[in-house]
Amino acid sequence: MPCDDLREDLSTGFDNGTATVTPLGDFDDDWQLVVDASGAPVPSSPTVVSAYPGWLPAFVGSGWLSNAEDGSAAHRALFTSAGIYTYERCWCMSGYAIDPLLGLLARGDNEITDVRLNGVSLVPVAGTIGAFNDAQPMEYEVTDSTMFLPGENCVQVDLDNWGSVAGLNVSGSIFADDGACCEITPAGDDADSP
Ligand SMILES: [Ca+2]
Ligand SMILES: [Ca+2]
């Protein structure tokens, strides 16, 4: 068992440092916007916003993200450009990982058009467009170890905003035995020896 087990929460708006949902109006500490249809500079940190009128509440233990908020007490998503917004979440995974399990649930305003793991589009287990008010969110599960990389792994979510506000809500996790990144000292190689 060379490395610790990997058990990381990938949910939007989840503060992994404190293991609580990030306060409204604060930046997400892990998710990044890497494509922004509004033309704002990328990468940028999305803001945790309140569920806009019509959106379902965020999944338990997560928050809605948007590329902007208006500074009001409600911390609502701003009206923004139509087009594609790509959100990315990366984590480190050891080359010794066994039995990886990536699970994701996603809703968006207006629809989720693609979800990729390390650049490979995932086939959903369930869901059609994962709209903000769809009872059935987009649902993905990956257990194929060949889809993971030693070192940095990234999930990307393409969100298509038809107009008005844009938002993304993901509940997700990655589990893998021996999957936490760790330094391995090769057998017989004692760095402290002269
Ligand atoms: Ca986080
Ligand atoms: Ca919209």
**Interval 51-84: pLDDT, tens:** 999 999 999 999 999 976 666 677 888 889 999 9
- The reported pTM is 0.92
User: Among all ligands shown, which has an atom nearest to the Cα of 10?
Assistant: 1
pLDDT at residue 184 above 80? Answer: no
Instruction: Identify residue 151 by its one-letter amino acid code.
Output: G
Question: Which domains are present in the chain?
Answer: 6-177 (2.60.120)
CA of 111 from ligand 2 middle (Å) equals 8
Q: Which residue has the higher pLDDT, 192 or 33?
A: 33
Question: Is there a cis peptide before residue 43, judged by omega within 30 degrees of 0?
Answer: yes
Q: How far does the centroid of ligand 2 lie from the alpha carbon of residue 62, in Å? A: 20
Beta bridge partners of 109: 167
Q: How far is the CA of 123 from the centre of ligand 2 (A)?
A: 24
Q: How much of the chain exceeds pLDDT 90, in percent?
A: 86
CA–CA distance, 130 with 95 (Å, rounded to integer) = 33
Residue 75 alpha carbon to ligand 2 centre in Å: 16
Asked if the peptide bond before residue 161 counts as cis, ω within 30 degrees of 0, the response is no
How many angstroms does the Cα of residue 31 sit away from the middle of ligand 1?
7
Q: Which residues are within 8 A (CB) of 123 and not within 5 positions of it... i.e. 6 or more apart?
A: none
Report DSSP state, residue 44. Answer: B
